[in-house]
């Protein structure tokens, strides 16, 4: 099972760009990289997913280098409402199974005014 | 569209009591799963199901039972509650393809005294 390593916590200020890096040295060929966001008293919410290079949506960007041993979630111009825990997951969901998707402890992002 | 609905939101049990945590989804997702979240531990997979009639164990299955008689419902049963099962429980669902994100409910906070 591919495990991930991310910083426990990060601090930022409103308007700054935040980059959270996730290390996944033993990522397998068929594994995708997925990021979730969790607010207090809520379930995690899907943010972005990618396999290689760069993926961008209305919320964030995901940068994946050629060796795929790490990935970086980029949040542009954060606001106070971006304060949350961010989880990086690596796994292969062929056949729909998610038994091999492991949620780590996540990165607690605190955005200050 | 209700998404993933979990009931109850809060529950207090005494050691040895039994109860069922309910999870229902209205998105016709084949895949459903249960996680528990403890402080500083991230989310840990308890059981999951890739379709009606099919269940499998996750990372921490002991003390919990599940069944999947319909596509919509995936109840989690505690046969004899223990204080170690005090936690927040999240149900999630998704389509059975590798790019489909997990949709989470808002959790059930369980306290066992």
Is pLDDT at A25 greater than 80 in this prediction? yes
Specify the pLDDT at position A71. 96
Span A39-52, mean pLDDT? 93
Q: Tell me the pLDDT tens digit for each residue of B6-20.
A: 999 999 999 999 999
Tell me, yes or no, if A100 comes closer than 8 A to chain B by beta carbon: no
Mean pLDDT (10-residue bins), chain B, 113 residues: 91 97 96 91 89 91 96 97 97 83 94 97
Work out the number of other CB atoms within 10 angstroms of the CB of residue A51: 14
Does residue B8 have a cis peptide bond before it, meaning omega lies within 30 degrees of 0?
yes
Contact A107, A20 (CB under 8 A): yes
- Angle at the Cα of A68 from the Cα atoms of A64 and A72, rounded to 5 degrees: 35
> How would DSSP label each residue in A35-85?
EEEE-TTS--EEEEEESSEEEE-SS-EEEE-TT-SEEEEEESS--GGG-EE
Is pLDDT at A105 greater than 90 in this prediction? no
Specify the pLDDT at position B1. 64
Best residue in B21, B27, B101, B105 to probe A by mutation, most A CBs within 10 Å? B101
Contact list, B98 vs chain A (CB under 8 Å): 30, 32, 92-94
Specify the pLDDT at position A1. 53
Best residue in B21, B28, B36, B43 to probe A by mutation, most A CBs within 10 Å? B43
Model confidence at A99, pLDDT cuts 50, 70, 90, reads low
């Amino acid at each position: 099972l591919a495990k991930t390593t991310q910083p426990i916590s990060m601090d930022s200020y409103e308007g700054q760009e935040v980059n959270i890096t996730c290390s996944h040295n033993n990522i397998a060929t068929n594994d995708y990289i997925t990021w979730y966001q969790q607010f207090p008293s809520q379930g995690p919410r899907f943010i972005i997913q990618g396999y290689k290079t760069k993926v961008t949506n209305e919320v964030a960007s995901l940068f994946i280098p050629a060796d795929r041993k790490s990935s970086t979630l980029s949040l542009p111009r954060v606001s106070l409402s971006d304060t949350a825990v961010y989880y990086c997951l690596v796994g292969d969901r062929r056949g729909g199974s998610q038994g091999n998707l492991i949620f780590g402890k996540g990165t607690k992002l605190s955005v200050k005014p | 569209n209700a998404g993933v609905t979990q009931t109850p939101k809060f529950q207090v049990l005494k050691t040895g009591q039994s109860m069922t945590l309910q999870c229902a989804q209205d998105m016709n997702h084949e895949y459903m799963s249960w996680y528990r979240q403890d402080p500083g531990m991230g989310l840990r997979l308890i059981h999951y199901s890739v379709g009606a009639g099919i269940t499998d164990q996750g990372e921490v299955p002991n003390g919990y039972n599940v069944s999947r008689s319909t596509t919509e419902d995936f109840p989690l049963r505690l046969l004899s509650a223990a204080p170690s099962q005090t936690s927040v429980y999240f149900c999630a669902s998704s389509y059975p393809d590798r790019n489909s994100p997990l949709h989470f409910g808002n959790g059930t906070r369980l306290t066992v005294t």
